[in-house]
Structure 1
Amino acid sequence: MTLLRGAALSAAFDRGSASYDRLVAVSPGYHAHLRRSARRLGLPNGGDGLRVLDLGCGTGASTAALLAAAPHARITGVDASAGMLDRAAGKRWPDTVEFLHAPVEELAGRFDPGSFDAVFAGYLFRNLTDPDATLAAVSGLLTPGGRLGVHEYTLGGSPVHRLVWHAVCGAVVLPAGRLAGDAGLYDHLRRSVVGFDTAPAFACRLRRAGFSSVRVLPLPGWQTGITHTFVARATSSAEGRA
């Protein structure tokens, strides 16, 4: 089976949206790890006065993590899957949270340059046809020096990390997907992680896109060496001229 991309992936998420929250809830540390990554953005004063873009917000798990880390921020959640977004929008949120149905490829046309002080992307970049183009768009949407946080499956350098991922997928992820009737989506999950950047490679991708102060931070538990937080800053205009 080939990887799902674009409209095919959005349609798969639409079909899987009804069971998605139940399935991720049984993944040890799923929500706690998202909250940890959101805190690592380091938004000051509870996000007071800050505008945050939650890119690929899905059913709102990353939105909830951002809200816990920055309860006073204005958060805009964006996702290409109408089904996932309906699940997110159907939950209770403060009036500082809004949702928008749009593919990431359309971001530049939806928002003005410098519209956001921070961008968070959870489990997004390995699903994109052109992650470099999306990083360029994100850089343009951030204020100079704005913060980027990425929470993503990116295998570490050890072969053990790849073996653990395959073992978890074989024993848990794929059987759960079959039981939920979403075997194709969860096979895509398995393949997309193996086929995407390692953690060091994604950090290099961020630097090539012009982000500075790039840091790669591990997550605890079974996901050590499998899932990482990446934090970086958009290059300011002064830095760009240097």
Structure 2
Amino acid sequence: MTAGPYDVPGAFDAGAKSYDVLVSANPGYHDHLKLSARRMQLPDQGRGLRLLDIGCGTGASTAALLDAAPHAEIVAVDGSAGMLDEARSKHWPGAVTFVHSRAEQLAAAGVAGPFDGILAAYLVRNLPDPDPVLRALWELLRPGGVLAVHEYSVRDSRVASAVWNAVCATVIIPAGRARSGDAGLYRYLRRSVNGFDGVNAFQDRLRRTGFTDVEEMTVPGWQRNIVHTFLGRRPRI
């Protein structure tokens, strides 16, 4: 279930300049991305591996992948030109490349597999229809490759839902308005999280897509049972 039509890339273009400052004020934001990347259990610090960071934004998830697999080749993709400009302005090793593409148009942008691992952070919830994109990611994975979806999900927990909405109303939306002058993106964030799959429903979605060894782990801190790592693999055979 999605939160309804919204120009997500356009909204991120508008908010790109203030995005890093706002997320850095979120305790655990970068540590939680690194945790999801480590949970992929990428071997040998990524030597010989090719990884995809889909929905890379300003590069926080790319940095998390690089922390977990510093010797891997990483292709980082985002649909927002503004967010990619912010990402590209940072210092990266030569094995990291950035591509401007919506998740639904990877082939047209020249993004081709196979990849040994894919990280999708805060992406799937924003897709008008997640299933075709998840299937495309499945096809881009090498047999045995791992997908990690780092995402909000509160539907299965009344406590998590209550905490999420309270923090949005008192912190996230006011801070977004104060920093960027427009709270539209942050009101959308609240709605999209409330409308997204519950934990069990999203794991079922991954299984229907063809992923095996599907599992879920949450993060520590105030976002416990709000932010999750979902893992799945393309079968080896």
TM-score normalised according to structure 2 size: 0.95
Q: Give me the whole-angstrom Cα distance separating, in 2, the residues matched to 1:13 and 1:121.
A: 16
- DSSP-derived class of the 2:51 partner: strand
Matching of residue 214 in structure 1 with residue 214 in structure 2? yes
Residue of structure 2 in register with 1:119 after alignment: 118
1:226 aligns with 2:226: yes
SS at match of 2:94: coil
Question: C-alpha offsets along residues 33-77 of structure 1, whole Å, 9 cap, x if unaligned?
Answer: 000000000000001010000000000000000000100010010
**Count of aligned residue pairs for this structure pair:** 233
* Contact kept? 1:144, 1:234, Cα under 8 Å: yes
- The one-letter code matched in structure 2 to 1:207 is R
Question: Contact (CA 8 Å) 2:155, 2:194: kept in 1 or not?
Answer: no
More deviation, 16-25/102-111: 102-111
Counterparts of 1:66-77 in structure 2, within 5 Å, are 66-77=65-76
Letter aligned with residue 133 of structure 1: P
| Residue type of the alignment partner of 2:53 | D
Q: Does 1:185 align with 2:185?
A: yes
Q: CA RMSD in A?
A: 1.2
CA distance in 1, matches of 2:127, 2:211: 19
Q: Distance in 2 between matches of 1:176 and 1:182?
A: 10
1:158-188 deviation digits (Å, cap 9, x = unpaired): 2111100000001111101111223110001
Amino acid at match of 2:86: R
In the TM superposition, what are the counterparts of 1:75-114 in structure 2 within 5 Å? 75-109=74-108, 110-112=110-112, 114=113
Secondary structure of 1:64 counterpart: helix
Over the matched positions of the two proteins, sequence identity in percent amounts to: 56
Instruction: Confirm or deny: 8 A CA contact 2:151 2:227 kept in the other structure.
Output: yes
**Structure 1 CA distance, aligned partners of 2:158 and 2:54?**
30
Comparing 153-162 and 45-54, the one that deviates more = 153-162
Could you tell me how far 1:156 is from its partner in structure 2? 5.5
- Displacement after TM superposition at 1:3 (Å): 4.2
Q: Output the CA distance in 1 between the equivalents of 2:140 and 2:222.
A: 34
SS of equivalent to 1:111:
coil
CA distance in 1, matches of 2:36, 2:154: 16
1-structure distance, mates of 2:69, 2:25: 25
Number of the residue aligned with 1:39: 38
TM-superposed deviation, 1:235: 2.3
**1:154 and 2:164 matched:** no
CA distance in 2, matches of 1:3, 1:88: 28
Contact 1:156 1:226 in 2 (8 A): no
The residue aligned with 2:56 is: 57
Question: Normalising to structure 1: TM-score of the pair?
Answer: 0.94
Contact kept in structure 2, 1:139 and 1:234, CA below 8 Å: yes
- Unaligned segments of structure 1, at least 5 residues: none
> CA-to-partner distance for each residue in 1:80-123, whole Å, 9 max, x for gaps?
000000000110000010000001111134234x4211100000
CA shift at 1:155, angstroms? Answer: 1.4
The CA distance in 2 between the partners of 1:173 and 1:89, in whole Å, is 26
Q: In the alignment, is residue 167 of structure 1 matched against residue 166 of structure 2?
A: yes
1:131 aligned residue: 130
Equivalent residue, structure 2, for 1:143: 142
Quote the Cα distance in structure 1 between the aligned partners of 2:87 and 2:134. 24
Amino acid at match of 2:30: H
Q: Contact between 2:57 and 2:83, CA under 8 Å: does it hold in 1?
A: yes
